Chain A
Amino acid sequence: MRRLRIISVALLVCIGLVGCGSGEDHKFPNRISPDIGPDGTKTLRKGNGAEPQTLDPAQASGVPAANVLYDMYEGLVTYSRTGDVIPGVAKSWDVSDDGKTYIFHLRHDARWSNGKPVTAQDFVFSLRRAVAPATASPYADIHSPIVNASAITSGKKDPSTLGVTAIDAHTLKIQLHDRTPFFLQTLAHPSSYPVYPPAVKQWGNQFTQPAHAVSDGAYVLKSWQVNNKIVLTRNRYYRDNKDTKIDRVVYSPIGDSNSELSRYQSGALDFTYSAPSSKLEAIHKHIPKQMHAVPGLGLYYFGFNVTRPPFKDNPKLRMALSMALDRRIIVQKILRGGQPPGFSYIPGDMHGYDSVTYPWTNWPDKKREAMARKLYHEAGYSKDHPLKVKLLYPSSESNKQIAIVASAMWRRVLGADVIPWNQEWKVYLSTVHRHIDTTLFFAGWIGDYQDPNTFLSILNSHSGNNEPGWDNAEYDRLQSASEHMPNGPQRTAVMHKAEALILKQNPVVPLWFVTNHHLIKPYVKGFVGNPLDVYLTRYLNIVPAGQKGGGS
């Protein structure tokens, strides 16, 4: 007994010693230590989530790779500070009246990082490579508006038949098979960036390695240690080099947002990839000015498998489940990160588009719930005969919370018996794609470009991303029509009709829209939050307190 007591006292002392360091909750250390070398070299240190799988623009996918590629490469068009598409290597372009032919006039001062000029032929080479079957680009389909692109990807035509031709070294012609109002947006996507042909020919897959890297953006790859860091340095041949203030960029892959926060607080990071949701309140309290919550182009939703009962041909039941959810509780009490509740299908922050919302968006809770019950009964379910389904979600603590809260809401309002069911990520993906075992699933979609089509196109019955398996002829007609109409009120009206149809039929139930969180040190100037979450380092500057100098 005595021994036990001594051990417990010793243990308490140990815990106490450890506790002393971290027990002071009122303190929130946050070191301000910009990385400026003795020679004035400014380094921006960014957290970057996961390790990019590749730095080949044609093969990359995912945000971490894109972040690095935005700095390394410049396409015909590029992103502005606010995420809008602006001229890049092309200084201007002409579009034919039918919207099918684009003539790009390339800048004469666009240079690769080895000093060679960026030519129209480089773009021909790169776009052919991006759609070629041998490249197996995951984003090959983003080029499908270009003549023959899809046929080339599926191996039916030769890459040389692609509708991209160099008229001369600085004039590029791109032909589309139909008018595509968001075509320029797809050209700003990394998969449209040019690669340096001699490097690709000489090094093959290895052309992305630091020793062989040649790029045409504001920065060039200096070193790459997988899972540790990617270092970029200034491309001194870049056309806007004199206005680029930051000399080096260091990208660190930090998957755990708590570890990332520690590194930010210790002064080793200037710009984070995210912020841990459990710490958002503390961050808000102590460093509100360094916290940037930026609404993004992403939707989280519950999807129904509409190819099988009970959700097949049952829009009333789907609407009842949608109406029974209190989205405001979900975003305010569970997520707590300032996410907008999802009462529409297209994010409210999509530039140049006002989303359609559910007619009952602002109904009082009682009225909304009563209507949900009414529809539930009309669909043939009741207390004695409740709906019994499993709700599939990819394993994670936060997804589990959402699944539990939603099933509790459905149980309370409707009496439905929804059982949360989790699967590991890749297992989940194959289950959902098979359309057999799932009836109800939790999923998300991040837009690839700044146009409603990036959301509308996935529910087309021919889309590989149509997880619910929704097949609605009217919707397909509206969506395809909107893909080829010139921008303007007419196109908006068609897209509104399509969105309203989704909200009426509910193949998916929108839950909330993504909000991206970044912590940025006060000495980093020139940051403007934008829905695409695209931040080119060349627009930023590092100006320590007390020094003059503009970034914006």
Chain B
Amino acid sequence: MLAYTIKRLLGAIPTLFILLTLSFILVHAAPGSPFSMAREMPPEVKANLEAKYHLDEPIYEQYGRYLLNIAHFDFGPSYQYKDTTVNDLIAEGFPVSLTIGGFALLLALVLGVPLGMLAAVRQNRITDYLCSAIALGGISMPSFVIAPLLILWAAVYNDWLPAGGVDSWQSYILPVITLAAMFTAYILRIMRASTIEVLRSNFVRTARAKGLSTARVYGVHILPAAILPVVSYLGPAAAAILTGSVVIEEIFGMPGIGRFFVNGALNRDYTLVLGITLFYGLIVIAFNLVVDLIYGWLDPRVTY
């Protein structure tokens, strides 16, 4: 297992390198400059700015300089937020995104897994239909619909929760619920489908024939087998959810990393976009590895 982990980690280096190179080419190929504004600067001022950020150098020199900095874990200065660095912005934004995403993921699991199993056990009965309806609602309603409705209900019409910004832990409740809605729905559907399949398998029949208690059949025999598809879904989902949802961060005014990413792209803030892309790539790779390791632990057929 240790050898496998090391192999995977080493394999991540070329992946990240390719990701970085492609992103570097793409952001520099996008038309428009970080310093173009509605009010055009005098050419000499623009030249000064470009010199300050080394944008006047040939592209391969910029690339070399950037790689060198990355090797020192220095993502460089942000072109947009001039008083700060990309490292600081990620360090400030990631905890917020992590908190929203982490709790949303937890909520989605706590709701989705039992409801999915319940729906499978009560297949084609009213409970199943209700769960399916909830799932359908969660998948069909985009967060930019759910979020304003929740704000209206809990913050504007009632004085229960803040409408946006981050002041206290209460500020996180609505974003977490909104973000969890869609993931709950997905997990519920995946869990339902896999449970139905597992229920029909021979080892479950054997377990029941041995006279095991219902709780033991479900907890020890069905759950670990049925949850496998959810686990493999969680890898990419967790990476996506933890690195921030730009829609939710924008509507709730949360200072997360997702907003930096999109604003960075719109403002051609090269270093910010590249820094977050690389960071995102790291997280995706890490989570896929974690999921594979969990898989090996849950499923005895998988060995490394």
- Interface residues of A, Cβ cutoff 8 Å to B: 3, 6-7, 10-11, 14, 18, 21-22, 24, 27, 29, 31, 51, 53-56, 59, 61, 133-138, 140-141, 153-155, 205-206, 208-209, 225-229, 252-256, 258-259, 262-263, 265-268, 424-427, 429-431, 433, 443-445, 464-465
Indicate whether B81 reaches chain A with its CB closer than 8 angstroms: yes
How far in angstroms is the closest Cβ of chain B from A263?
Answer: 5
Bound Cα distance from A56 to B84, whole angstroms: 12
CB pair B132–A7 under 8 Å, yes or no, is yes
Q: Hey, which chain A residues are within 8 Å of B263, CB to CB?
A: 51
A24 to B157, CA, bound (A): 10
Chain B residues with CB under 8 Å of A256's CB are 250-251
Stretch of B105-113, B232-240, B253-261, B278-286 that contacts chain A: B253-261
Q: List 6 A-B contacts (CB under 8 A).
A: A10-B129, A61-B39, A155-B48, A259-B151, A266-B162, A426-B32
The answer, yes or no, to whether B212 is at the interface (CB within 8 Å) is no
Q: Is B11 an interface residue (CB 8 A)?
A: no
Contact of B134 among A14, A55, A155, A258 (CB under 8 A): A14
| Residue on A nearest B41 in the bound complex, by CB | A138
Q: Establish whether residues B250 and A153, one from each chain, have CB atoms under 8 Å apart when the complex forms.
A: no
**How far, in angstroms, from A89 to B249 measured CA to CA in the complex?**
41
A425 touches B266 (CB 8 A): yes
- The residue that B148 contacts in the complex, of A229, A262, A267, with Cβ under 8 A, is A262
- CB-CB under 8 A from B159, the residues of chain A are 31, 266-267
Instruction: Indicate whether B166 reaches chain A with its CB closer than 8 angstroms.
Output: yes
In the complex, are the beta carbons of B36 and A429 less than 8 A apart?
A: yes
Query: Which residue in chain B gives the minimum CB-CB distance to A62?
Result: B37
Interface digits, B157-178 against A, CB 8 Å rule (1 contact, 0 not)? Answer: 1110011111000000000000
Q: Is B149 an interface residue (CB 8 A)?
A: yes
Chain B, interface size category, equals 35 or more
Chain A to chain B: the 6 pairs with minimum beta-carbon distance, closest first = A426-B32, A10-B133, A21-B153, A227-B255, A228-B255, A154-B44
Chain A residues positioned under 8 Å from B36 (CB to CB)? 426, 429-430, 433
Q: Is B7 an interface residue (CB 8 A)?
A: no
B32 to nearest A CB, angstroms? 3
Asked whether, in the complex, the Cβ of A3 is within 8 Å of the Cβ of B124, the reply is yes
Are the C-beta atoms of A22 and B45 separated by less than 8 Å? Answer: no
Whole-angstrom distance between the alpha carbons of A288 and B92 in the complex? 40
Contact, CB under 8 Å: A27 / B93: no
Cross-chain contact A55 with B40 (CB below 8 angstroms): no
Residues of A within 8 A of B249 (CB): 227
Cβ < 8 Å to A, chain B residues 129-155: 129-130, 132-134, 136-137, 148-149, 151-153, 155
Q: B302 an interface residue at 8 Å Cβ cutoff?
A: no
A398 to B297, CA, bound (A): 54
Residues of A with C-beta under 8 A to B45: 136-138, 140-141, 153
When distances are taken between beta carbons in the complex, the residues of chain B under 8 Å from A444 are 38
In the complex, the answer to whether A22 meets B40 with C-beta atoms within 8 Å is no
Chain A CB within 10 A, most for which of B40, B155, B157: B40
Q: Which residue of B lies closest to A47 (CB)?
A: B253
Q: Are A6 and B129 in contact (CB under 8 A)?
A: yes
8 Å CB contact of A228 from B42, B83, B165, B268: B165
CB within 8 A of A153: which of B31, B42, B92?
A: B42
Contact among B84, B136, B253, B254 with A11 in the assembled complex (CB-CB below 8 Å): B136
Closest residue on chain B to residue A467 by CB atoms? B40
- A21's partner among B124, B129, B149 (CB-CB below 8 A) is B149
Could you say which residues of chain B place their CB within 8 Å of the CB of A252? 164-165, 253
CB neighbours (8 Å) of B288 from chain A are none
Q: What string of 1s and 0s marks CB contacts (under 8 Å) between B68-102 and chain A?
A: 00000000010011111000010011000000000
- Indicate if B12 sits at the interface (CB-CB under 8 A): no
Residue from A138, A209, A255 having most chain B Cβ neighbours under 10 A: A138
Contact (Cβ within 8 A) B83 A259: no
Within 8 A of A (CB), among B188-240: none
A254 with B32, Cβ < 8 A, contacts A54-B83, A153-B45 known: no
A227, A253, A427 — most chain B CB neighbours (10 Å): A227
B121 within 8 A of A: no
Contacts of A55 in B (CB 8 A): 83
Task: Tell me whether B301 is interfacial, beta carbon within 8 Å.
Answer: no
A136 near B52 (CB under 8 angstroms)?
A: yes
In the complex, A424 Cα to B93 Cα: how many Å?
Answer: 26
Given A259-B164, A259-B251: A18 touches B149 (CB 8 Å cut-off): yes
Inside 8 A of B67's CB, which chain A residues have their CB?
none
Instruction: Give A437 Cβ to nearest chain B Cβ, in Å.
Output: 11
Q: Across the interface, do A227 and B260 meet the contact criterion of CB distance under 8 Å?
A: yes
B156 at the interface (CB under 8 A from A): yes
With beta carbons under 8 angstroms apart, the residue of B137, B153, B165 that contacts A268 is B165
Please give me the residue from chain B that is nearest to A152 by CB atom: B44
Q: Is there an interface contact between A205 and B82, defined as CB atoms closer than 8 Å?
A: yes
Given contacts A7-B132, A10-B130, A426-B31, contact A141 B42 (CB under 8 A): yes
